[in-house]
Chains A and B, each alone.
Chain A
Amino acid sequence: MSEIDAGPATVVAPPAVRARAGRRGFGRLLRTQPLGAIAAVVIVLFVAAAALAPFIAPFDPTAQHRDAFLAVPGSPYLMGTDDLGRDIFSRVLYGARTSLLVAVCTLVAGGVIGMVIGVVSGYYAGGWVDTLLQRIMDTLMAIPGIVLLLFIAALLGPSIRNTVIALSLLVIPTFNRVSRGEMLRIREELYVESARASGCSTWRILRRHGLPNLLAPILVVASLTFAIIIIAESALSFLGIGTPPPTPSWGAMLSDGSRYMEIAPWMVVFPGGALTLGVLAFNLLGDALRDFFDPKQSTR
């Protein structure tokens, strides 16, 4: 799972990001980054599917239709049924819910913690706080992503909350690295010195000048990290230590399907396709945002 460790930072060469976007920014994003715009539409569809799953889904995702085990895709089962006779289309929709829920929670928890660590560390770069925090981050990063996830999630036991905790540990170093690097740059900016001369406390400087100026690079990282989280959540569920059954999740569906793949490939194809499409959309959006914010890329 290369994406998990590669992390956005490899894909994002440290961007000299400067956002002068303003409110007209979104329109310009749509015009200059058509692929990103398509990705944004796909993401909106995903969110809609997740939010409206109870209204769209033709069947209860956990209902077992005894007359239709491993039914071929068609009518009335759009994507077929699984080995227990559950409607795969409905489960894919509800699975989007699980994925998005876990990803949003992880992004908020891990993203905020990683940013706070990175910002504080970057502002006090070279001090003992920085050294201590960065050693911890290096430690977390030295363990391959899935191995770390497996380790933490297995110890905590399968539940959505524990999945979020494990995934947060995975994304904290990424956000830390990006925000620390940006903070190192911001720290040298004259406006930070001038804020200090104005009598601003360190906390006020970090809050008013540090965080807002970090926002553009963080947005890029958040989008690319979202893709990573979705894959990682599925991987955990695939291994049976993520989202516990019967809650529908794409990873667990793939795991179930892997046992019937030769007689019922649709059990693997559809949830995996949804997963890949979601990941693809967030990767494309992240790419588009990076190009959008990076003045060097605009000539391409």
Chain B
Amino acid sequence: MASPAAHREDTAPAPGPPLMEVTDLVKHFPITRGLLRRTVGHVRAVDGVSFTIGAGETVGLVGESGSGKSTVARLVLRLLDPTSGSVKFDGQEIAALSQRELTPLRRNMQIVFQDPVSSFDPRMTICSVITEPLEAQGISSGQQARDRAAELLDLVGLSSRDLDKYPHQFSGGQAQRIGIARALATNPRLLVCDEAVSALDVSVQAQVLNLLRKLQVELGLSYLFIAHDLNVVRYISDRICVMYLGRVVEQGPADAVMTDPKHPYTRTLAGAIAADPRTGGGTRRVVVRGEMPSPSNPPPGCPFHPRCPQAFDRCSTEVPAPLPAGEGGRTASCHLLDITAVNGKAVGR
């Protein structure tokens, strides 16, 4: 993994309205039971998430599995319908559009999945896989679409000779390049990468990440980059949102969040990285106690308090609001940042 230095000089996001603006996004899955399928509870997969993605910007979404990050990916693309909240794409509200109204918008926002091979229909050739979005949207078909597919394979570093092969004939890294080619077919402005490199070997990961960065510069793409691996997210992202139990607990510029985490949860995640033998660190290690609670039965107050080393009485009763936590619009949802709350209390250990 390359060193997590700022990879672009012009890190300041472009001014003007954001490409995507997500406000108070909520997704509850009902739990039904009994003869009449009564709803007896909800899985609060996503519980009030807000963030923005600027044009040409990469926003990283990190968290453990079960934190709701993949649900966020599906919600902003309307592969799932949100329970409440707003998703604006280029200023247009899409949370309430019908699937039919969404179709023309889909060309502007595409997704790359974690497992590329199973995201391809096993009976389709690579050519059909890549041209499917073009045909589905009525952009092009036939030879024209095939030419475009060849061009895209070339763009992601594969050969147009591969057009008539089948998905299972490719390695994981190659398949993910095909997944990226498909996602780029309609010239989207936003690419959602849902754990797009998590299943790949480390060396292949780096290749695919570099490809994504190259494409971003060439095509002016915005990324919503979802991963559980902080190193990967830090490497590619301009800004990071840290999710825990369906909420964003901290967000801000990537390097600032990583080098100086403000939320205890982010601190434990960053500590886990420091202990990662791949980074050569390991001196400073903060262990997360216990397991993440079930989103069907979240703890009262701060969702992290049962595992938080610094929790105090207020944490178990009151949900912390996002508080300013530094430059670049940094926020963290932690009572520790509320000076009046911790007044007279020892911070840390």
Contact = CB atoms under 8 A, between A and B. Distances in A.
A197 B77 contact: yes
B133 A198 contact: yes
A197 B193 CA distance: 12
Nearest to B192: A197
A199 B107 contact: yes
B213 interface: no
A197 B106 contact: yes
A191 B118 contact: yes
Contacts of A18: 122
B121 interface: yes
A190 B115 contact: yes
B279 interface: no
Contacts, number: 63
A99 to B, nearest CB: 33
Contact of B113 (A190, A202, A213): A190
Contact of A194 (B103, B104, B107, B113): B113
B317 interface: no
Per DSSP, chain A at the interface is helix
Contact of B118 (A189, A196, A208): A189
Size band of the interface chain B makes with A: 20 to 34
B120 interface: yes
Contact of B132 (A190, A200, A212, A213): A200
Interface in B86-119: 99-100, 102-104, 106-107, 110-111, 113, 115, 118-119
A198 B132 contact: yes
A204 B136 contact: yes
A93 B250 CA distance: 80
Contacts of B133: 198-199
A200 B103 CA distance: 8
A23 interface: no
A251 B79 CA distance: 54
Interface residues of A, number: 20
A212 B123 CA distance: 8
A198 B79 contact: no
B120 A191 contact: yes
B112 to A, nearest CB: 9
B120 A197 contact: no
B291 to A, nearest CB: 26
A203 to B, nearest CB: 11
Given A204-B136, A212-B123, A197 B79 contact: yes
A190 B118 contact: yes
A144 B80 CA distance: 42
Contacts of A200: 132, 136
A209 interface: yes
Contact of A196 (B79, B115, B182): B79
Contacts of A208: 121, 132
Interface of A: 18, 20, 189-191, 193-202, 204, 208-209, 212-213
Q: Which 8 interchain pairs have the tightest Cβ spacing? A: A199-B106, A198-B133, A194-B119, A200-B136, A190-B119, A190-B118, A191-B121, A197-B111
18 contacts: A18-B122, A20-B122, A191-B118, A193-B74, A193-B119, A194-B111, A195-B132, A197-B106, A197-B110, A197-B111, A198-B106, A198-B132, A198-B136, A199-B133, A199-B137, A200-B132, A201-B103, A208-B121
Given A190-B119, A191-B119, 6 more contacts: A189-B118, A190-B115, A194-B182, A195-B132, A198-B137, A212-B123
Interface of B: 74, 77, 79, 99-100, 102-104, 106-107, 110-111, 113, 115, 118-123, 132-133, 136-137, 168, 182, 186
